[in-house]
């Protein structure tokens, strides 16, 4: 018989539980059994697998030590045996109180219409007793004796052997087969807080209700805000000398020639191997760096929550355009460089070319781009290409592509590069300022990926003036698309040729400008990225070109 004078004292006495999982905070091994990380900390197998699946660089939830995202986690059988022995050496506190009344009975029994034998095959650390139409999770307590606390006593059972009958055996067999057929299913008895279930619920697959689907969300407490503030106020560190370390400061792997070199973390100044410092992100304002820098895995975890803020404040895209004069007073605008080294330079070249075409449209309308073609333009590719050779010509250049969205606004620019060959009756060398009009959204998508363009062109140039007209077919992973090319040429060149070009996006240049190494060209052209402040001269030139033709 069990006498309970205060049900709240049971919870107070049962504070000392078995080890808990740091992710779900339930008893260790509740979901899938116990599992261990390389750092030595333990957790539920399913919880750690979910943590591993939802993180690009998963870390231990306790010590924040990174572990491989491809690590094949499995149950720790030795730890499982230890937990089972601890569970078997503990006795069950069984009791139920109706208000202040004491439950009385001649002997402890498993009632056939109340107690489920399902707990016999459960992997939980405590057993459950059905009373008053509900099941309450028991607490692990010493195996014998009377515990006194605050002058209130608890009589503890020494014998908790269940009664074996046909109904309980049938229920147990059904539960065993259910677990075999559904190995991912688990029992709900591990939920804390004394949650009640009906007998019908015990045979149902309720694992989806209690399984942790992701690590706990980080709170937005005042302490977290202070931590983020301290990171933003960080000063550039003093780098550790190369001679001070012969092994990685994270994985302790020794540095070797060619196969494992030294890499400094730009945020903490430590020395790490390539595998432990593969992340790149923007640094706080005091570092005065506008491009993503290499950092170690630990620093990457610290800086990741601040990246959206730093992109809006620190990145090159958020700065004011310095070089925005394209008239004859600026030598930079006389000749466009065919090999731009940054997005800022590509924006300046594109602005200069657009303003030149706006001027041509005002002075010589017959030589401008036809209004019918500009009217339906879904995007523009603007490049400067150098072309030289005789019979067989070589082409090389850089530029950008910009798309027109459904609301009529222009997208942020994407840096691109091109190279190609031409064959035909041609000779000379020239510098080509090229505008490619993209007539459909599929053409814009094709241009945003690596693709091959095939076409024919006629080119005549002498001195600072020249004309070239081309019609191209672009073929790539995004499909095939037609486009029209118009250009102004400088140099000495004449000929008719068949052209073949390869064009691709410059991922490194885009990452250096926008501050996000994970942005793809499609994200920039068709995503929800805000218009970069540094591209203001480009948007102004686009507006002038279309307004001068009455197309807006």
Identify the H or E element spanning 421: strand 414-438
41: its two tokens: 């900390």
Q: Who wins on pLDDT, 93 or 221?
A: 221
Do 519 and 510 touch, CB atoms closer than 8 A?
yes
Q: Report d(CA 168, CA 188) in Å as an integer.
A: 19
High-pLDDT (> 90) share of the chain, %: 34
- Across 342-361, b (16+ Cβ under 10 Å) vs e yields ebbbbbbbbbbbbbbbbebb
- Residue 492: the pLDDT is 82
- Residue 386: the pLDDT is 94
390: its two tokens: 């005789």
**Exposed/middle/buried for residue 13 (C-beta within 10 Å: 0-12, 13-18, 19+):** middle
Across 391-408, average pLDDT: 92
350: its two tokens: 């594109």
- Across 463-495, b (16+ Cβ under 10 Å) vs e yields eeebebebebebebebeebebbbbbbbbbebeb
- How many Cβ atoms are within 10 Å of 377's Cβ, its own excluded? 21
Q: Report d(CA 318, CA 229) in Å as an integer.
A: 21
Identify the H or E element spanning 425: strand 414-438
Do 140 and 18 touch, CB atoms closer than 8 A?
yes
**Exposed/middle/buried for residue 445 (C-beta within 10 Å: 0-12, 13-18, 19+):** buried
pLDDT tens-place string over residues 503-535: 999 999 999 999 999 999 999 999 888 899 999
Report how far apart, in Å, the C-alpha atoms of 195 and of each of 7, 265, 547 are.
15, 49, 68
What is the end-to-end Cα distance of the chain in Å, rounded?
Answer: 89
pLDDT tens-place string over residues 274-320: 999 999 999 999 999 999 999 999 999 999 999 999 999 999 999 99
How is residue 231 annotated by DSSP?
A: H
How is residue 20 annotated by DSSP?
A: B
Do 527 and 518 touch, CB atoms closer than 8 A?
no
Of the candidate ranges 189-198, 330-339, 347-356, the one whose mean pLDDT is the lowest: 189-198
Instruction: Delineate the domains of the chain, giving CATH numbers in brackets.
Output: 7-210 (3.30.40.10), 222-314 (3.30.40.10), 331-548 (2.40.128.480)
- Residue 5: the pLDDT is 41
User: Which of 12-16, 296-300, 371-375, 445-449 has the highest average model confidence (pLDDT)?
Assistant: 296-300
Task: Report the mean per-residue pLDDT for the chain.
Answer: 75
Q: Which of 248, 349, 284 is nearest to 515 (CA)?
A: 284
- Residue 237: the pLDDT is 93
pLDDT band for position 180 (cuts 50, 70, 90): low
- Residue 13: the pLDDT is 42
Q: Which of 455, 461, 467 is nearest to 429 (CA)?
A: 461
Q: Who wins on pLDDT, 397 or 208?
A: 397
pLDDT band for position 39 (cuts 50, 70, 90): confident
Is the Cα dihedral 407, 409, 414, 415 positive or negative?
positive
């Amino acid at each position: 018989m069990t006498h309970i004078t205060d049900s709240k004292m049971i919870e107070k006495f049962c504070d000392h539980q078995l080890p808990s999982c740091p992710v779900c905070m339930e008893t260790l091994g509740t979901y899938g059994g116990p599992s261990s990380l390389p750092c030595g900390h333990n957790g539920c197998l399913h919880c750690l697998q979910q943590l591993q699946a939802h993180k690009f660089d998963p870390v231990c939830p306790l010590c924040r030590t990174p572990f491989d995202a491809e690590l094949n986690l499995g149950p720790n059988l030795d730890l499982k045996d230890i937990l089972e022995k601890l569970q078997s050496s503990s006795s069950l506190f069984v009791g139920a109180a109706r208000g202040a009344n004491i439950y009385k009975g001649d002997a402890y029994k498993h009632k056939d219409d109340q107690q489920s034998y399902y707990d016999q095959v459960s992997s939980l650390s405590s057993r459950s007793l059905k009373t008053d139409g509900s099941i309450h999770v028991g607490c692990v307590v010493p195996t014998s004796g009377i515990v006194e606390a605050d002058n209130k006593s608890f009589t503890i059972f020494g014998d908790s052997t269940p009664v074996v009958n046909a109904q309980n055996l049938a229920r147990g067999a059904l539960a065993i087969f259910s677990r075999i057929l559904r190995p991912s299913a688990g029992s709900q008895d591990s939920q804390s807080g004394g949650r009640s279930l009906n007998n019908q619920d015990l045979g149902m697959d309720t694992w989806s209700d209690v399984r942790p689907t992701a690590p706990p969300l980080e709170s937005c407490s005042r302490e977290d805000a202070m931590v983020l503030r301290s990171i933003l106020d960080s000063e550039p560190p003093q780098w550790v000398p190369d001679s001070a370390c012969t092994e990685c400061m994270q994985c302790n792997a020794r540095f070797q020639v060619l196969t494992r070199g030294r890499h400094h973390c730009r945020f903490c100044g430590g020395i790490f191997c390539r595998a432990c410092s593969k992340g790149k992100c923007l640094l706080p304002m005091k570092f005065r760096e506008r491009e993503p820098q290499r950092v170690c895995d630990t620093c990457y975890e610290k800086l990741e929550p601040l990246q959206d803020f730093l992109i809006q404040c620190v990145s090159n895209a958020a700065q004011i355009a310095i070089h925005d004069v394209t008239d004859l007073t600026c030598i930079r605008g006389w000749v466009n460089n065919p090999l731009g080294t940054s997005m800022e330079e590509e924006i300046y070249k594109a602005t200069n070319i657009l303003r030149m075409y706006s001027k041509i449209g005002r002075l010589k309308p017959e030589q401008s781009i036809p209004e019918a073609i500009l009217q339906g333009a879904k995007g523009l590719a603007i490049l400067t290409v150098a072309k030289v050779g005789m019979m067989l010509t070589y082409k090389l250049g850089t530029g950008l592509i910009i798309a027109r969205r459904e609301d009529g606004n222009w997208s942020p620019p994407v840096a691109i590069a091109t190279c190609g060959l031409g064959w035909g009756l041609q000779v000379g060398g020239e510098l080509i300022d090229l505008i490619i009009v993209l007539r459909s959204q599929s053409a814009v998508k094709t241009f945003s990926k690596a693709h091959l363009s095939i076409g024919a062109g006629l080119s005549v140039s002498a001195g600072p003036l020249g004309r070239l007209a081309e019609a191209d077919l672009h073929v790539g992973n995004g499909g095939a698309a037609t486009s029209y090319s118009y250009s102004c040429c400088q140099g000495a060149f004449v000929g008719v040729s068949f052209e073949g070009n390869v064009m691709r996006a410059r991922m490194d240049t885009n990452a250096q400008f926008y501050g996000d190494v994970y942005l793809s060209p499609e994200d920039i052209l068709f995503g929800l990225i805000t218009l970069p402040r540094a591209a203001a001269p480009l948007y102004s030139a686009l507006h002038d070109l279309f307004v001068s033709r009455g197309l807006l």
